[in-house]
Amino acid sequence: MQIHELKSPVGSRKRKKIVGRGKGSGHGRRSGRGQKGQSSRSGRAVVLGLEGGQMPLIRRLPKVGFNSRWPDEYQIVSLENLNRFKDGSIVNSESLKKEGLIRSSRKPVKILSNGDLKKKLTIQAASFSKSAQEKIEKAGGKAQLLVGNTVE
């Protein structure tokens, strides 16, 4: 058997409906659209959202939530990853970027309390979880909040 001898199975190829080509086609005169009215005209038949005088669904449902166009996207760093820094060093966004723990030194950093911190570090970040702050102070380090680019 060769490629030109192949045939598709019966019923797999359906002919496109041709409308408005006279009575003999079976779809003449009104082209299967019924008589007059909105759905017989050209263009969109029914405007989306209109429900014929009934209050539309989109207006019946309550407004919920808010999504900012410019959300604060924090870069998250776990405490266990900070053990790679030397004892007594200052950890900020530049040093985290050098170590490959964050992608951008411009976006804010949040420190989470996953794992344990075993070194005294001064950590400068935009945000800390409460438990992370406690673990840093328990290890003998400092958690310094950054507001803009300055330490509070």
Which residue segments constitute the domains of the chain, with CATH numbers given? 17-64 (no CATH), 75-151 (3.100.10.10)
* Structure confidence at residue 46 as a pLDDT band (50, 70, 90): confident
Structure tokens at 147: 């507001």
* Structure confidence at residue 43 as a pLDDT band (50, 70, 90): confident
Q: What is the pLDDT of residue 72?
A: 86
pTM: 0.56
Q: What is the pLDDT of residue 113?
A: 94
| 131 torsion bin: left (phi>0), alpha (psi -120 to 50), beta (else) | alpha
Nearest to 133 by CA among 110, 148, 113, 149: 113
Largest alpha-carbon pair distance within the chain?
Answer: 92
User: Quick one: average pLDDT of 129-137?
Assistant: 96
pLDDT over threshold 90, residue 38: no
What is the tens place of the pLDDT at every residue in 51-61? Answer: 989 999 999 99
Nearest to 111 by CA among 141, 136, 86: 136
Q: What is the pLDDT of residue 65?
A: 93
How far is residue 3 CA from its own chain's centroid?
A: 46
What is the tens place of the pLDDT at every residue in 66-103? Answer: 999 998 899 999 999 999 999 999 999 999 999 999 99
Q: Could you give the CA distance from residue 114 to residue 117 in angstroms, rounded to a whole number?
A: 9
What is the SS3 assignment for 111?
Answer: strand
How far is residue 91 CA from its own chain's centroid?
A: 30
